[in-house]
Amino acid sequence: MTRVIRKVLVANRGEIAVRVIRTCAELGIATVAVYSAADRDSAAVRLADEAVQIGPPAAKRSYLYIPAVIEAARATGADAIHPGYGFLSENPDFAEVCEAEGLIFIGAPADVMTRLGDKSTARALMADAGLPLLPGSRDPIANVEAARALADEIGYPVIVKAVAGGGGRGMRVVRDGAEFAAAWQQTRATAAAVFGDGRLYLERYLESARHVEAQILADTHGTVVHLGLRDCSLQRRHQKLVEESPAPGLSAELAEDIGAAAVRGCRAAGYVGAGTVEFLLAPDGSFYFMEVNCRLQVEHPVTEMVTGIDLVAEQLRIAAGEPLTLGAGVRPAGVAIECRVNAEDPRRDFAPAPGTLGECLLPGGQFVRVDTHVHTGYAVPPHYDSLLAKVVVWAPDRATAIARMRRALAETRLRGAGVATTTEFLHDVLDHPRFRDATHDTALIGTLSGTAPTREALQPS
């Protein structure tokens, strides 16, 4: 059964709120922006048809406060809520409240998020669906003694992960038995504090791995398709800095095997909506399931650039009950690269560096896309994620895409009192020979100069 979506409340902020508002405008759908006191003058507030302040700067009292979001939807007559990414986007309780209030939640069903948000349950489900897993625990481990015994059995290094973890938090690599107990207790304390769930599981840590992921779309009529792969291996503290599509250096057969595994796993989970299945890829070409993100990813623009498909528009159509019309033959064309420009100082272990932008010059030109919410005079708030802009380029081949991204980053000027950005660091990473020849992996940034890469450290030896 199809449902008509006439007005969407965007339960988020920053560039993703702007992103959703723009697609809604193109589809003739009215929008409502919600904002905290810190975001009163934000681009989303200016671009939406209506705007409602929902609380003070603290996210727990605004963007994460479900009663305020629901009341804003009621007051404005919204019939659907798009959660963006982060905040409430993977909160099954929020999805259930939306449905109970007669609001269409533009995302995965609550029961699916519950199953896949629990990393241990997700691993078991994917194992039953035939997806390959790294050696480790199928279920949460009861105590440190049992975990230590399993670590000794599967061999070090291992990675301890929070069952409810995400966003690069709630995980710790352990390289020998002497440090295991302390790492276990520290990860459990972090998981309990950050996620309200101290349960942990364990798996073998794969050295020199690449991080690849498949973009999935699934409708309510049983159709599940993948839109190709992204490589997200360039990370700091398990959080991505550079993404590209298609994942370079993979044979067509391997890429299709990974995509087919992602589709198979989502079918088994009863997935609906836009989602991402993440894998670790070993140097020998073997790949292993990591997790499913039940939302739109930050890096979704690279998939849009190579496929020509508006993923937010597809989310809206799926949420309305419409069938997918893409078919199984989606074939990406060319190469797209995304660089995240964050208000962080790479010379201080990527410490947040908020301030006021006295200069805001963003790149342009052919096949360059910038997703941002900032402008000259914008006060970068210290309360939220440090992302300022996503610079995305497309080209017919990877070498041209890298050259275009170098040019785009060279044009980028985001400067101001107290503000440091990752722009120069990203430019240098693109010049590194391991990125150029697509032999980079998840350890590259961390091993270049320890925890605080510098310009000199990025030069080839």
Cα Rg for the chain, rounded, in angstroms? 21
Specify which residues 288 forms β-bridges with: 280
Sign of the torsion formed by the C-alpha atoms of 59, 60, 63 and 64: positive
Residue 454's pLDDT is: 35
Query: What's the predicted TM-score (pTM) here?
Result: 0.92
By DSSP bridging, strand 7-10 and strand 30-36 are parallel
- Asked if 90 contacts 118 with a C-beta cutoff of 8 angstroms, the reply is no
Residues of the chain with pLDDT under 50: 449-461
Q: How far apart are CA 283 and CA 212, in angstroms?
A: 12
Residue 119's pLDDT is: 85
Residue 139's pLDDT is: 86
What is the phi/psi pair of residue 223, to 5°? -90, 130
* Tokens read off for 127: 């194992």
What is the phi/psi pair of residue 148, to 5°? -65, -40
Residue 274's pLDDT is: 98
Residue 256's pLDDT is: 95
**Is residue 295 among the annotated active site residues?**
yes
Q: Based on the number of CB atoms within 10 Å of its own CB, is 439 exposed (0-12), middle (13-18) or buried (19 or more)? A: middle
Residue 231's pLDDT is: 98
Choosing from 172, 236, 295, 317, the catalytic residue is: 295
